[in-house]
């Protein structure tokens, strides 16, 4: 080995972090001294090149994803924030609530299966029989509306909650076909609502967002008189909610 400083050694010296052996070599070596001067001269253009890099553009959906994730985290954490005195009783409640969600999703799956058998039936109101009475049907629409920008959501909400929008049979090849499958839909809802949330959705709309197929899910909100509206991508599944938009709206009276 020739003992000359390599690039890292020169860089360390430049940073004031050179080892003693490097410093003593440098003092007696014209070649390394010249290389150090060369490297020092390159600092300004390198810093200028770095400073000129454009700031990465923040994805439009990042804020919505974060808001939704934090809101869900908050609603779940309400369980553990109760005073110690009632924690024990609350644990029982939490287990019960989890069971209700499971029942809710199971019931939802069952009701959607039934509705698939009777596509001629278009609204919950016209449904008859003891089973239907036991499991409320989720008002479901297939408006195909593009909700970007989301201003139209509040106006559409009353019709969505009644399930009175169009209810088209999904076309083959439609990216949302998968989410018409009750089991797939239940996985998506579980990702959205979390295991301790309030239960089955209040409304669904197979729609679009910013040109892409999207599912609108209206869930009960923790706040009184409000509903939480999620617009999720067609790939929504257990563990990956793919929220494109989240907004909390006043519940229509």
Partner 1 sequence: MIADDARDRDLLAAHLRGDPEAFGALAGLHRDRLYAVAVRTLGGSPQARDEAADAVQDALLSAYRAAGSYRGQAQVSTWLHRIVVNACLDGLRRRAARPTVPLPDREPADPRDKLDESETAADVQAALAALPVDQRAAIVLVDLAGWPVEQAADVLGVPVGTVKSRCSRGRARLAVALGHLRNPEAAAAVPQGVDPPRGGDHPPAGGGT
Q: Phi/psi at 222 (nearest 5 deg)?
A: -65, -30
105, 190 Cβ separation under 8 angstroms: yes
Q: How many residues bind partner 1 (CB under 8 A)?
A: 59
| Positions 25 through 64 that interact with partner 1 (CB under 8 A) | 25-29, 31, 34-35, 38-39, 41-43, 45-47, 49-56, 58-59, 61-63
Per rule CB under 8 A, is residue 4 in the interface with partner 1?
yes
Least distance CB 58 / partner 1 (angstroms): 5
Maximum C-alpha span of the chain: 98
Q: Tell me phi and psi for residue 231, to 5 degrees.
A: -110, 115
What minimum distance in Å lies between the beta carbon of 248 and partner 1?
Answer: 11
Closest contact distance (angstroms) between CB of 110 and partner 1 is 33
Figure out which of the listed residues 10, 112, 160, 189 binds partner 1, where binding follows CB under 8 A.
10
- Site map (CB under 8 A) of partner 1, residues 75-94, x = contact: --x---x-------------
21 binds partner 1 (CB under 8 A): yes
Give the burial class of 60: count Cβ atoms within 10 A of its Cβ; 0-12 exposed, 13-18 middle, 19 or more buried. Answer: exposed
Characterize the bridge pairing of strands 212-220 and 243-250.
unpaired
How many Å apart are CA 253 and CA 237, to the nearest integer?
A: 31
d(CA 157, CA 215): 14
Quick one: 52 or 120, whose CB is closer to partner 1? 52
Would you say 27 or 171 has its CB closer to partner 1?
Answer: 27
Could you say whether residue 225 binds partner 1 (CB under 8 A)? no
What residues have CB less than 8 Å from 16, skipping those under 6 apart? Answer: none
Is 224 a residue that touches partner 1 (CB under 8 A)?
no
Q: What is the C-alpha to C-alpha distance for residues 144 and 89, in angstroms, rounded to an integer?
A: 45
DSSP string, 30-98: HHHHHHHHHHHHHHHHHHHHHHTSPPPPPPTTHHHHHHHHHHHHHHHHTTTTS-HHHHHHHHHHHHHHH
Does 22 bind partner 1 (CB under 8 A)? Our answer is yes
Q: How far is the CB of 20 from partner 1 (least distance, A)?
A: 9
Residues that bind partner 1 in the complex, under the rule CB under 8 A: 1-12, 14-17, 19, 21-22, 24-29, 31, 34-35, 38-39, 41-43, 45-47, 49-56, 58-59, 61-63, 65-67, 69-71, 73-74, 77, 81
């Amino acid at each position: 080995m020739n003992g000359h400083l390599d690039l890292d050694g020169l860089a360390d010296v430049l940073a004031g972090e050179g080892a003693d052996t490097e410093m003593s070599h440098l003092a007696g070596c014209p070649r390394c001294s010249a290389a150090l001067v060369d490297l020092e001269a390159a600092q300004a253009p390198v810093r200028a090149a770095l400073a000129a890099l454009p700031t990465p553009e923040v994805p439009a959906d990042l804020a919505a994803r974060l808001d939704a994730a934090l809101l869900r985290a908050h609603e779940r954490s309400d369980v553990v924030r109760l005073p110690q005195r009632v924690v024990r009783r609350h644990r029982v409640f939490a287990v019960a609530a989890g069971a209700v969600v499971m029942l809710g999703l199971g019931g939802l799956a069952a009701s959607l299966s039934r509705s698939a058998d009777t596509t001629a039936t278009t609204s919950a109101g016209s449904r008859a029989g003891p089973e239907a009475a036991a499991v409320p049907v989720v008002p479901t629409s297939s408006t195909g509306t593009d909700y970007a920008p989301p201003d139209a959501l509040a106006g559409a909400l009353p019709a969505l909650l009644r399930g009175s929008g169009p209810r088209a049979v999904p076309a083959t090849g439609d990216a949302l076909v998968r989410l018409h499958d009750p089991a797939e839909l239940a996985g998506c809802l579980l990702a959205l609502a979390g295991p301790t949330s309030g239960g089955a959705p209040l409304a669904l709309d197979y729609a679009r967002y910013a040109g892409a197929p999207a599912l609108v899910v209206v869930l009960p909100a923790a706040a009184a008189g409000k509903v939480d509206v999620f617009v999720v991508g067609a790939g929504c599944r257990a563990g990956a909610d793919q929220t494109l938009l989240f907004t909390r709206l006043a519940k229509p009276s």
